[in-house]
A and B are shown apart, each in its own frame.
Chain A
Amino acid sequence: MPQIKEKRIITDKGIQKAVLFFLWGIFIKMVIADRLTMFVDTVWNSYEQFEGLTLFAAAVAYSIQIYLDFSGYSYMAVGVSALFGFTLTENFRQPYLGITIGDFWKRWHISLTEWFREYLYIPLGGNRRGSFRKYMNMIVVFLVSGLWHGAEWSFVVWGGIHAAYHVVGNLTEKWRIALCGRLKINRETFSYGLWQRLCVFLMAAFAWIFFRAPTLGDAFGYIKGMFSCWNPWVLFDKSLYALGLAKEEWTICAWGMVIVLITSYIEEKGKQIGEVFCLQNIVFRYLCYFALFMAVAILGVYGPDYDASKFIYMGF
């Protein structure tokens, strides 16, 4: 808030970053997230008709969709603010590259997590009153976080699941380290890191089912359907192409996600994309603007026929 009173200086570099962030935000929101929405909504709107891996695929797609949707408009907000000389705090830091659920929450919706830590977790005593109180405080924070997202039991369960991940993860940490030692698993390797990230992603994806479900009953019905049969052929027999996204649309999503993955990897390595971008020659920068703008204008999901996704997090 003090920034409002401060004298703001709009710099050339600020404009460069602002335009980049704004276009990047629209790109990941409109080209990838909104496209995935068409598949996710098709499955979720009549999930009783689907089973097995189709429901599993929609759950995974929703995990990607909600991240790109939310981070997309966070980037847009950062870009617009920068145009007026304001600097917003980082709200996402590659959450699905987190290696534990705790790590995930340090990277996801950082502003909200910080707020809960400062105004709920610490006033409740934080981790200063013994392990039992620490875990109880965690559970309270996650349940309240669930309620903050909506007055539905499904949100409370979503928070509860994350609390359970957290508590069980903390309680079993030493045991898991010891098990790795006995099995001679090197925890410093790339493959182990990949395994950890895959586990975190799948755990988050499972919890998102409760977040996406209209009611608790729907969530349980969806999960039951996921495990009701083994039908891996749906990933190969093109039946997914008939669920709101044709082959070309899936291809666009796939390429978009590859680009997001590359930029996430660069950021994870400690380089700020915005800073790296500003160091490039003007021709390259303008080509990037042009490419992003064209990608959004051509491949973006919008226009009179478009009525699928609003900004998911707008409701929260």
Chain B
Amino acid sequence: MYKCILRSLSLISLFIGSIWLINTIFIPKRFDGIVPMKSFYAQEKETIDVLFLGSSHCGMTIDTGVLWKDYGIPGFVLWGSGQPAWNSYYNLREALKTQSPKAVVFEVYAMKYDFEYQDEARQSMNTGAMKFSFNKWEAIKASAPRERWSDLMLGYPLYHTRYNELTKEDFLFFPNSRDLAENKGTGGCRWGTGEFELPDVSGITECKPIFEKQELYLRKMIELCQEENIPIILYVVPYCTRDSDQPYFNSVGKIAQEYDVEFLDFNLMEDTINFTAGDVWTDGGHVNTTGARKITRALGEYLKGHYELEDHRGQQQYASWNDNADMLEKEYLSVIQSKEDYFSEVSGTEYICLYAQKGDYGLTEAERSNENMIIVQEADGVLDIMPAGWKAEDNMVDPGEKFSVDLSNGISIRWEETVLLDEAGNGAAAVIYDPEKREIIDIVIMMESTNFAFEHKNTSLNTL
């Protein structure tokens, strides 16, 4: 009998383990819901000082790198695409199991939604990464009709058919991995804008009633934070079609007043934070990275000014926030598609830029004057660029690491023994190098053959 029980338990464990393995590998690694929650679980306990919650208007606005580098605030963005308030509420409950944030910042775009349930894909994205728990069960019950509860709880029935689209990333997505710990939830970087106008909503004073279920969970969030003695700040981010939604946000303002919590309506604060239509991304609905930084800084100032938030910069326990800031910086560089914006961004970093040009195509005077720009021209011939020549600190780069630039036949750049670039014809190329981490951050080219179009090259050395 004892043997039978033991065998049964072993089998049950085997099957539960198998389901866990399948869920870990097969869950879609979506940055707009799954990755933020998985990354949240990878954070060290009691390290997050400010927790940001909300929809894509939160995830694509809050730049945790800026918050860290400018204010020393370890923030985390727990968001999901089109996330309704009920998902934000259960995410908050989940977060409070392991973290004691000094402030919770909730983005209220969802208050314009008037549906009982979000679409099926988003139901999955907003609950799929939560750990198996009573809280997850409650979140699922709030998120979807009864017939989907079991599928959402088990997870794999929804995505087991991904077996023919699995990638390397799917197999390296295990809990507490370094990549997940470095991710603080920020939903990537975006460059560019469109021909937009931001309608003036300052004259709209009408209040429209918020959908009952959304309001219920907004109130629950506020009440939970007040029970836990955590200050909660509500905010909304500017976007192009905001005029029709402003009446809902006015209602949010009234609820905020009722509970005596702060509501930062950035739709009415554009002059204060210098926000313009150029800060709206090409989709018109979200901010680009320059817009995100403006709002993040405004929130950073507010948080620093109103709460006692310790500056954690330099503390070993918070090293992953530093890595996160570097990662976001690198990502932003990789999406910029304009020479002017690119070198302007580079000049604000600690990176070194090796700029090699052949022919008449060159930099503006302003760009030439950047301190971290090393310029190589045709007249220089074949040139080895040693670390000592780049920066005053001779020991910054290993002496074995050197760039060799040859402009005698097109543009050829080598780093150690690896050919980074070998382009024929006139033009220019820039290699962005991080002397601290000793790695290539990015490579861009502007060649005559493509009419000097600004292009990024793959920075993976193995593929060059």
Instruction: Give A residues with C-beta under 8 Å from B.
Output: 10-12, 15-16, 19, 248, 286, 289-290, 293-294, 297-300, 302-305
Measured between C-beta atoms, what is the minimum distance from A168 to chain B in Å? 46
Measured between C-beta atoms, what is the minimum distance from B148 to chain A in Å? 7
| Residue from B10, B18, B164 in contact with A294 in the complex, judged by beta carbons closer than 8 Å | B18
Residue numbers in B under 8 Å from A286 (CB-CB): 10, 14
B306 at the interface (CB under 8 A from A): no
CA distance A298 to B160 in the complex (A): 5
- Closest chain B residue to A252, Cβ basis: B163
Contact A304 B151 (CB under 8 A): yes
- Closest chain A residue to B22, Cβ basis: A297
| Residue from A16, A19, A248, A304 in contact with B157 in the complex, judged by beta carbons closer than 8 Å | A304
Contact A304 B160 (CB under 8 A): no
CA distance A11 to B156 in the complex (A): 33
- Closest chain B residue to A248, Cβ basis: B164
Contact B14 A302 (CB under 8 A): no
* Contacts A289-B14, A293-B15 given; does A299 touch B7 at CB 8 Å: no
CA distance A132 to B33 in the complex (A): 74
- Closest chain A residue to B15, Cβ basis: A293
B395 at the interface (CB under 8 A from A): no
- Closest chain A residue to B19, Cβ basis: A297
Contact A298 B158 (CB under 8 A): no
| Residue from B4, B21, B160 in contact with A303 in the complex, judged by beta carbons closer than 8 Å | B160
Contact A12 B4 (CB under 8 A): yes
- Closest chain A residue to B151, Cβ basis: A304
| Residue from A289, A299, A305 in contact with B11 in the complex, judged by beta carbons closer than 8 Å | A289
Give chain B's interface residue range (CB within 8 Å of chain A): 20 to 34
Q: Can you list 18 A-B contacts with CB-CB less than 8 angstroms, sorted by A residue number?
A: A12-B7, A15-B7, A15-B8, A286-B14, A289-B14, A290-B14, A290-B18, A293-B14, A293-B15, A294-B22, A297-B156, A298-B22, A300-B160, A302-B157, A303-B157, A303-B158, A304-B148, A304-B157
Which of B10, B18, B19 neighbours the largest number of chain A CB atoms within 10 Å of its CB? Answer: B18
Contact A303 B161 (CB under 8 A): yes
CA distance A290 to B10 in the complex (A): 12
Q: Mark B148-178, 1 if CB is under 8 A from A, else 0.
A: 1001000011101101100000000000000
* Contacts A248-B164, A304-B151 given; does A297 touch B18 at CB 8 Å: yes
Interface residues of B in 1-50 (CB under 8 A from A): 3-4, 7-8, 10-11, 14-15, 18-19, 21-22, 26
CA distance A21 to B158 in the complex (A): 26
Which of A11, A303, A305 neighbours the largest number of chain B CB atoms within 10 Å of its CB? Answer: A303
- Beyond A10-B4, A304-B157, 7 additional pairs, beta carbon < 8 A: A19-B11, A286-B10, A289-B11, A289-B14, A299-B163, A302-B157, A304-B151
| Residue from B10, B18, B120, B157 in contact with A293 in the complex, judged by beta carbons closer than 8 Å | B18
Residue numbers in A under 8 Å from B19 (CB-CB): 297
Contact B158 A304 (CB under 8 A): yes
Which 5 pairs between the two chains have the least Cβ-Cβ distance? A303-B157, A248-B164, A293-B18, A298-B160, A297-B22
Contact A298 B15 (CB under 8 A): no
CA distance A298 to B158 in the complex (A): 11
Q: Mark B95-139, 1 if CB is under 8 A from A, else 0.
A: 000000000000000000000000010000000000000000000
* Contacts A290-B18, A298-B22, A298-B26 given; does A12 touch B163 at CB 8 Å: no
- Closest chain B residue to A83, Cβ basis: B8
Measured between C-beta atoms, what is the minimum distance from B24 to chain A in Å? 13
Residue numbers in A under 8 Å from B120 (CB-CB): 304
